[in-house]
Amino acid sequence: MIAREAGSGQPAVGTQGIARDLAVALDPALLAHDVGLDLDAWQQDALRSREQQLILLCSRQSGKSTVSSLIALHEALYRAPALVLLLAPALRQAQELYRKLKDGLNALDRPVPIIEESALRMELANGSRIMCLPGKEATIRGFSGVALLIVDEASRVSDELYQAVRPMLAVSGGRILLLSTPWGKRGFFFEEWTSGEGWERVRVTAEQCRRIPRDWLQRERRSLPSRVFDSEYMCVFGETEDSVFGWGEVMTAVDGGVAPLFAPSQIVHPEGTRDDIAPLAVRPAKTGTGGWR
Ligand SMILES: Nc1ncnc2c1ncn2[C@@H]1O[C@H](COP(=O)(O)OP(=O)(O)O)[C@@H](O)[C@H]1O
Ligand SMILES: [Mg+2]
């Protein structure tokens, strides 16, 4: 990131500035210092990670959106020209992340100038673009050349939306970052956390967050149903309330050795890509109480 005076095209920094830029480019965690934040160790590690796929399964208020906004900012500043997409269940939530990123940019001494800006997107003088995506599959356009896709409150994002955005990373080889509290044993966020391939996984409970006071947490534990407390603060994927069988029961009934009764089918995505859906093979019914019939 070499800041330029808006309009002049001239670099606004001397050797010291260039040396600092080089240091922050090499160690993204230094960016936090430049925006005035003292990151937790796990936040620093997340900011430094170069894994293609990263999941932050973290307590409410632990600082996952904050660090994700810095990951996005670093990408836009130091890997320009980069296209960074911000997605959440609702546009308003994606805009929250966007605002954090903008606050970070404004807090820098010599920010790269913004050449175009709206409530949903900005373009920087270095060619990087940051865009908020609407939380509805039908209204999402296909973007190509995505460098980084961030999905905030990912457990609440629908599988259809996730399936619609993932192909945008296919050609560019861009990175994806999912961050969320759990929301039961369902959906892609749970699947990716428990059995997805190629993910770096980070789990941070409220007890591990130095900014959440112990006595406040104890009060929350007493006042909330344990299922809610465990999910919101302790990163526990609970049973979904509306399911007849628990996740464990269903999975023990699935047997890879039994041939499916019907052939695999495919989802055809709007942009033309296809995903196979293999039907689950379920063990033959057991007799007696509690068996499958
Ligand atoms: N390393 C940090 N130092 C100081 N404040 C932080 C840090 N990380 C997060 N915060 C603050 O903690 C609060 C919750 O952070 P946020 O990122 O919104 O949490 P989450 O997305 O996990 O709910 C915000 O007020 C944020 O500014
Ligand atoms: Mg958040």
Q: What is the pLDDT of residues 211-227, one digit of tens each?
A: 999 999 999 999 999 99
Task: Name which residue sits closest to atom 2 of ligand 1, judged by CA.
Answer: 39
Residue 113 or 141, more confident: 113
Tell me if 61 CB under 6 Å of ligand 1: yes
Nearest to 167 by CA among 137, 194, 122: 137
* pLDDT digits 0-9 by tens, 149-158: 999 999 999 9
> How far apart, in whole angstroms, are the C-alpha atoms of residue 197 and residue 195?
6
Return the domain boundaries, the chain. Answer: 36-233, 245-293
Tokens describing residue 214 = 């112990």
Query: What are residue 149's phi and psi, to 5 degrees?
Result: -120, 125
Nearest-atom index, ligand 1, CA of 32 = 1
Is CATH 3.90.550.10 what the domain over 36-233 is classified as, yes or no?
A: no
Tell me, in angstroms, the distance from the centre of ligand 2 to residue 274's CA. 32
Task: Name which residue sits closest to atom 1 of ligand 1, judged by CA.
Answer: 39
Nearest to 133 by CA among 154, 155, 114, 112: 154
Nearest-atom index, ligand 1, CA of 40 = 1
Nearest to 30 by CA among 109, 138, 145, 139: 109
Tell me, in angstroms, the distance from the centre of ligand 1 to residue 63's CA. 4
Give the global pTM: 0.81
Tokens describing residue 286 = 């057991």
C-alpha of 69 from chain center: 10
Per-residue confidence band for 137, with pLDDT thresholds at 50, 70 and 90? confident
Question: In this predicted structure, what is the pLDDT of residue 49?
Answer: 97
Cα pseudo-dihedral 78, 87, 69, 97, rounded to 10:
140
Residue with the two structure tokens 């970052």? 177
